[in-house]
Chain A
Amino acid sequence: MNTSVQGAATGSDAGIAGPLGAWLGERLDAPDLTVRGIVRHTEGFSWQTYTLDADWRDAADGRRHTRGFAVRVEPRDGLLAPYDIEAQYRLNQVVSRQSSVPAPAPLWLETDPGVLGMPFYVMERATGHVPVQWRAEDPIAFPTPQARRAIGLEFVDIQAEIHAIDWRSDLAFLASDTDPARSAQAQLDYWVDRYERGRMVELPVVREAIAWLRVNLEPSDRLVLCHGDYRIGNFMVRDGRVVAVFDWELAHVGDPVEDLAYAGLPLWRGRDPRLSHLLAPEDFFARYAERTGFAVSPQAFRAWTIFGLVKAAATYVQGSRAFEEGRTGDLRLAVMGHQIVHVLRHLARALDGESI
């Protein structure tokens, strides 16, 4: 079973049906298990995510079963490489077991690349609709202003729940430092390093932002579990509720304002002032303060917004470099080389103190 799925950005099952069916059959003690309806989801640029249905007959009572699964395959060299699938799996376990955050429950981890070409894990499949940043008006997710507001308030509530998870017991491995000021600098160092390793030319606005952040990044007095990529596009809704939060690969222990500012980056809302097309900033902050007792300082929010844009720029240059070096053939990463201009323009405006 050495079927590789790397580079198959076609939306097809990429040959995984056979080996994955056999592997799932072993886990469920169902040798006759078959998989169908495999869909590769193209929303993400990092992990390869497939959803599928499995059918099998129960060995004990002979009854037929059908169950939906989601499979996350580690990319060979994706946008956010390097990856640590075991840490990712453990994080998903803690979140699903120790909080009411709606994250798909992880079921099995396979670290042997011999099955699908790369390590992977299997989760319960969530069903619903994923609103995306490209569509501010989404009649399925937001049929009315009231529905949008309700989703927005729940979005904030879930973020507050994530921030309330006790990372010190089971997720301490996600902390770079236990001191908030040193932790903030460690996050900055981490993303500056990614920028340095990814860039093929120097980008003067990014360099200016890094120098500014060295002086002005304002840490809070607390450290929380940050999702790291909490925004529209990374959650699913059904019947007016948020039913799943995805894409935890950037989770870390960090500043709560970092996570809040990231959700409000203009990359996820265009000229719409609502954070992630959901809530006006004042409503967002008021709800977060109501849930956590923590008031967001505008200065800290601006600094962490600039940080979030540097993080985005670092991600874009990594994608461009991966394409340049032939480590991926995904053209979506190639176009990041010019799409980064949007990030840089927002960054320049933020540095100049303009509203973005």
Chain B
Amino acid sequence: MQNSPQRLLAGAAQALREVVGPAVAEAYPRAQLAAAAELLDNLAQRVEWRRDDGDEIVGRARPLLEDATAAAGPTDLQRARAWLVAVPGPGEPGPVLEALAEAQTWAAAHAPDGELAGRLRAFARWDLECEVRRLRNGMFKD
């Protein structure tokens, strides 16, 4: 998930008010619609993405970055090295995924069939499966 919850909720409220609302003629559905929009607007002021998800990403990515920087030359993986120094404990998932991308590119170029590349692929599959478990929609329900 890339968007902020504030923008998603406020955007959904806006669409209900400005796009759906004018097309609803009956009074009771219109009242429900207005209430739904108000709920979304108020939720937007009060929610944030779950922190435990981000913590787990950071916890799983750290040993990968430590091993990647140990395997790479001292001038390689500067972003990963900087992240390891700057974030000794729990952190935000965004920066660690950026650092991990650098390690993925390096591993693919230097040892695509190596053990580290395999662990990076496994991390990517795990991260994806977490998203799949959270997904609720109807596109090709497979």
Contact = CB atoms under 8 A, between A and B. Distances in A.
A207 B12 contact: no
A207 B140 contact: no
A134 B140 CA distance: 8
A324 B4 contact: yes
Interface in B110-126: 112, 120-121, 123-125
B131 A344 contact: yes
A202 B128 CA distance: 12
Interface string A337-348: 111011011001
Contact of B104 (A204, A270, A331, A334): A204
A345 B128 contact: yes
B91 interface: no
Interface stretch (A68-76, A88-96, A158-166, A211-219): A211-219
B1 interface: yes
Contact of A338 (B1, B7, B142): B1
B104 A339 contact: no
B128 A331 contact: no
B124 A205 contact: yes
Contacts of A207: 100-101, 104-105, 124
Contacts, number: 108
B140 A324 contact: no
Contacts of A28: none
Contacts of B134: 338
A2 interface: no
Contact of A204 (B11, B18, B100): B100
Main SS class of interface, A: helix
B128 A337 contact: no
Contact of B23 (A10, A204, A331, A344): A10
Interface in A191-226: 199-205, 207-208, 210-212, 214-215
Interface stretch (A117-125, A169-177, A300-308, A315-323): A315-323
Nearest to A340: B2
Contacts of B12: 331, 334
A338 B137 contact: yes
Contacts of A341: 128, 131-132, 135
Interface string B12-39: 1011001100110000000000000000
Contacts of B140: 266, 270-271, 342
A22 interface: no
A215 B112 contact: yes
Given A200-B3, A202-B101, A348-B125, A208 B120 contact: yes
Interface string A1-40: 0000000011000000000000000000000000000000
Interface of B: 1-4, 7-8, 11-12, 14-15, 18-19, 22-23, 93-94, 97-98, 100-101, 104-105, 107-109, 112, 120-121, 123-125, 127-128, 131-132, 134-135, 137, 139-140, 142
- Top 8 closest A-B pairs, CB basis? A211-B108, A204-B124, A270-B140, A202-B97, A200-B2, A207-B101, A337-B3, A341-B131
